[in-house]
């Protein structure tokens, strides 16, 4: 059960209205790294979680993300407040109103006209929010790693948003939201490492002969060695021949057994669609390129 408290988790004080900036803020309202996506990711994970500790954590963070959605949505609404009234009442000349909504070359005029200045469930480019942003797969070690990455991405977006405004109130509120992403990332990391073992994800082990092999498939100037492919942890394979047919076979693809009728159909199909390598037909492209 959810209960709403009308006081925000963090106060929102916007110095002046700025519809262009409001449009950029939509990235964290209805964008792929935004608060709604985070809330839905963790809430749906919590409903299916079997571990009581992780379930409690996921519900806590999911609910907090909804409070963050309210904070960022309030920032958008306050930045849009002046333009919302002007647009609704038509007090300015049409051309001047359009220029004021368009701001510094962004698409705030689109969200203003379509959504009346309210926080729309779109990203800053107008793309509608999608459940496709939710990448949960139902394995806690996998989902926690995805959550850690999601919090890291959201933190970076908040950094970038802070960098594009000099409004002290907006910067202050964004700084709070950014910091909460750090806290959530720490919680998810602690939860991940509380599962022992937690690598590799899932239950089935990998094939031991390939698990610690690093294949240097991109060779030439710029080849580097480091902890990601060092001899301490990996068998470094750079010989091209060793990369082929690593199972010890011939590296070819075939069906071991086919029914006679299947073989007959495949042979007929191959014959019907065979390329005549000795032919050199004139093509439409050649006809079109001839001088007339």
What is the band of 95 on the pLDDT scale with cuts at 50, 70, 90?
very low
The predicted-structure confidence for 167-187, as pLDDT tens digits, reads as follows 999 999 999 999 999 999 999
Asked if residue 168 belongs to a domain, the reply is: yes
Tokens linked to 104: 């510094």
pTM for the model stands at 0.85
Do 35 and 180 fall within a single domain?
A: yes
The predicted-structure confidence for 49-73, as pLDDT tens digits, reads as follows 999 999 999 999 999 999 999 999 9
Do 171 and 29 fall within a single domain?
A: yes
- Reduced to 3 states (helix: H, G, I; strand: E, B; else coil), residue 61 is helix
Distances (CA, A) of 185 to 33, 57, 110, 117, 279: 14, 12, 34, 32, 63
End-to-end Cα separation, the chain, in angstroms? 77
Do 93 and 228 fall within a single domain?
A: no
Do 67 and 165 fall within a single domain?
A: yes
Domain of 70, in residue numbers: 19-193
Asked if residue 224 belongs to a domain, the reply is: yes
- Structural domain ending residue among the three candidates 129, 159, 193: 193
Do 183 and 215 fall within a single domain?
A: no
Helix (H) or strand (E) holding 214: strand 213-215
The predicted-structure confidence for 255-282, as pLDDT tens digits, reads as follows 999 999 999 999 999 999 999 999 999 9
Asked if residue 143 belongs to a domain, the reply is: yes
Tally of domains in the chain: 2
Asked if residue 218 belongs to a domain, the reply is: yes
- Higher pLDDT among residues 105 and 188, named by residue: 188
Question: Would you call 289 exposed, middle or buried from its count of C-beta atoms within 10 A (0-12, 13-18, 19+)?
Answer: exposed
């Amino acid at each position: 059960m959810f209960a709403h408290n009308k006081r925000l988790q963090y106060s929102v004080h916007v110095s002046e209205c700025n519809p262009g900036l409001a449009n950029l803020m939509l990235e964290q309202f209805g964008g792929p790294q935004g608060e709604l996506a985070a809330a839905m990711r963790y809430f749906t994970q919590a409903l299916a979680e079997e571990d009581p500790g992780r379930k409690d954590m996921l519900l806590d963070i999911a609910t907090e993300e909804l409070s963050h959605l309210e904070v960022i949505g309030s920032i958008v609404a306050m930045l849009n407040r002046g333009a919302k009234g002007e647009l609704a009442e038509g007090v300015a000349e049409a051309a001047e109103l359009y220029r004021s909504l368009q701001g510094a070359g962004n698409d705030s005029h689109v969200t203003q006209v379509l959504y009346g200045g309210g926080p729309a469930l779109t990203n800053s480019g107008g793309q509608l929010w999608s459940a496709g942003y939710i990448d949960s797969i139902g394995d806690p070690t996998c989902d926690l790693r995805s959550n850690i990455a999601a919090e890291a991405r959201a933190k970076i977006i908040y950094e970038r948003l802070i960098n594009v405004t000099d409004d002290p109130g907006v910067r202050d509120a964004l700084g709070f939201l950014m910091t909460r992403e750090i806290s959530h990332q720490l919680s998810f990391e602690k939860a991940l490492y509380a599962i022992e073992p937690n690598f590799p994800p899932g239950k089935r082990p990998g094939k031991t002969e390939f698990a610690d092999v690093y294949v240097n498939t991109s060779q030439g100037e710029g080849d580097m060695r480091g902890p990601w492919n060092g001899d301490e942890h990996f068998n470094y394979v750079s010989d091209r021949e060793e990369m082929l047919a690593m199972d010890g076979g011939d590296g070819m693809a075939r069906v071991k057994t086919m029914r006679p009728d299947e073989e007959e159909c495949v042979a007929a199909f191959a014959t019907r669609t065979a390329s005549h390598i000795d032919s050199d037909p004139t093509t439409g492209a050649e006809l079109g390129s001839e001088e007339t």
